[in-house]
Amino acid sequence: MTADPISQFFANLAAPGHLATFEGDSATLRFDVHDGGQIQHWYVAVSNGDVAVSRQNKAADAVIHVERPTFEAIVTGRMNAQAALLRGLLTCEGSMAALMMFQRCLPGPPGSTGRVAPISSQTVMAQRRPM
């Protein structure tokens, strides 16, 4: 049960009750996660930064349809949500602005460190043709 990355993602999202990145924004989203023949629902309500998550199947500003493996990849940072949208792996009914807001809480790729080794002038010059 705890191994499900989607449940875990939403549990982590709801835990603090408030997310600074959503301040000034309000929207509701429903994720319809298709898993075999079944559809699992997560309902996210954002109100000026306050976040509540439930498993309700009710109307929302944006309804997102996605297959479970795709969504697992997205909530663990292994796939980019915007790229998935362009690929048709994720579809959005209703407010695109709500989806755009939501993607801000998704994690980056697992291997990303934000760091890179400096490169010397000599290396740059060696890579480049002379003037």
Instruction: Using CB under 8 A, list all residues that contact other proteins.
Output: 20-21, 23-24, 77, 79-80, 82-83, 86-89, 91, 96-97, 100-101, 104-109, 111-116, 118-125, 128, 131
C-alpha to C-alpha distance for 14 and 31, rounded to whole angstroms: 15
Q: String of b and e for 57-75 (b: at least 16 CB within 10 Å)?
A: eeebbbbbbbebebbbbbb
Min dist. Cβ of residue 96 to other proteins (A)? 5
In total, the chain counts a number of residues equal to 131
At its nearest, how many Å lie between other proteins and the CB of residue 54?
Answer: 23
For residues 124 and 70, give the distance between their C-alpha atoms in angstroms, rounded to a whole number: 39
Minimum Å gap between C-beta 1 and other proteins is 27
Q: Among residues 11 and 97, whose Cβ is nearest to other proteins? A: 97
